[in-house]
Amino acid sequence: MTIRLGYQIPNFTYPGVPVENTFDTVAAQAREAEASGFDTVLVMDHFYQLPGIGTPDQAMLEAYTTLGALSGVTSTVQLSTLVTGNTYRNPAMLAKTVTTLDVVSKGRAVLGIGAGWFEREHHDLGYEFGTFTERFERLDEALTIIAPMLRGEPATFEGKWYVARGAMNNPRVRPAIPIMLGGSGEQKTFRLAARFADHMNIICDLADLPRKVSVLRQRCEEIGRDPATLATSFLIMGMVGETEQEAKELGETIPEDRRNRAFLGTPDQVAEQIQEKILNAGVDGICINLIRNGHRPGVVSAVGTALRPLVA
């Protein structure tokens, strides 16, 4: 399993689209992505819209319901979250959820998972947020339960946060479902990725990317794992227009703290930037979102056509 070219859909606010047609617009993007060469379609696992994209009261669809529905309107793309908030779900239940997605999609599910970070969601919905250290303790324990269940092995574990007593996970359609971690922590996240993951989606400033790739390889080597067996990708925010002027106008909507992860320009210009700044840094693939205009017919196709040769 690898994600070479992923299309993330993080925005469900579509001006002029009635609420009852929201999913139709999501599905159209997923089908367009599949047809234009994207290998994976991803959604966020959040309950509120994130700062930098919109306001908390804006539309946000629940991730796994959405992915299950997308499995019925696509046929080849992998389906994943980028990434599941571990704090929201019991780990054995999460293993069952993603395995059910794998069954209904005929073997196209990927479990994306991270420690969780958006405190307001936890507060408002009644989930325990905890400290930074506690969230990573919980993620470690959760993966100890989830990983064997995704391989079809009963999970038995009793920890500080979670318990599983021979938890079984049937039916399944594949020997194992791949696990992707998302994050940037060199001490905690990267060590968990080396132990448990098939894929690491690195989230960091572009200037830090070469070092992150190097440290991730080091974490694999520390436990005797071949770094080549842990695929990598990088998430970017695409401000892609038909013209440079349109892209510039889209870019003006980006908050200052996100500008160093945004790529502005025409599809071909963005492709050049991705090659230079991401792929040349040693990353295997990219995930892109088009938060301002991805819902407009033809935009995803234009971007996919320009990016596909980079990862062919």
DSSP 4: S
> What is the structure's pLDDT at 171?
98
> What is the structure's pLDDT at 77?
98
- Helix/strand/coil percent split, the chain, to 5: 45, 20, 40
188: confidence class by pLDDT, cuts 50, 70, 90: very high
- What's the pLDDT tens digit per position in 196-212? 999 999 999 999 999 99
Q: Residues 6 or more apart from 280 whose CB is under 8 A from it?
A: none
Q: Residues 6 or more apart from 161 whose CB is under 8 A from it?
A: 134, 137, 138, 141, 142
- What SS3 class is residue 197? coil
**pLDDT of 253 strictly over 90:** no
Q: Residues 6 or more apart from 70 whose CB is under 8 A from it?
A: 26, 27, 30, 41, 79
Write down the mean pLDDT value for the chain.
96
* Distance between first and last Cα of the chain: 15
Mean pLDDT of 244-254: 88
- Cα–Cα distances in Å, from 202 out to 141, 190, 226, 268? 21, 9, 18, 23
Helix/strand/coil (H/E/C) assignment for every residue in 254-286: CCHHHHHHEEEECHHHHHHHHHHHCHHHCCCEE
**pLDDT of 117 strictly over 70:** yes
For the four alpha carbons of 139, 133, 261 and 29, in that order, the dihedral sign comes to positive
Q: Contact, 177 vs 109, CB < 8 A? A: yes
CATH of 5-310, picked from 3.20.20.30, 1.10.3720.10, 3.30.9.10, 3.90.1640.30, is: 3.20.20.30
pTM of the model: 0.97
Q: What percent of the chain has pLDDT over 90?
A: 92
> What is the structure's pLDDT at 251?
85
List the chain domain ranges: 5-310
DSSP 10: -
Structure tokens at 58: 């804006």
**pLDDT of 16 strictly over 80:** yes
Helix/strand/coil (H/E/C) assignment for every residue in 44-93: CCCCCCCCCCCCCCCCCCCHHHHHHHHHCCCCCCEEEECCEEHHHCCHHH
- What's the pLDDT tens digit per position in 41-52? 999 999 999 998
**pLDDT of 115 strictly over 70:** yes
> What is the structure's pLDDT at 1?
62
79: confidence class by pLDDT, cuts 50, 70, 90: very high
> What is the structure's pLDDT at 252?
86
> What is the structure's pLDDT at 229?
97
**pLDDT of 258 strictly over 80:** no
Reading phi first (left if > 0) and then psi (alpha if -120 to 50, else beta), residue 37 is in left
**pLDDT of 275 strictly over 90:** yes
Mean pLDDT of 71-98: 98
CA distance 192 to 143: 9
**Cis upstream peptide for 83 (omega within 30°):** yes
For the four alpha carbons of 43, 208, 224 and 162, in that order, the dihedral sign comes to negative
Q: Contact, 291 vs 240, CB < 8 A? A: no
Half-sphere exposure of 33 (CA within 13 A, CB side): 30
Burial class (CB in 10 A: 0-12, 13-18, 19+), 18: exposed
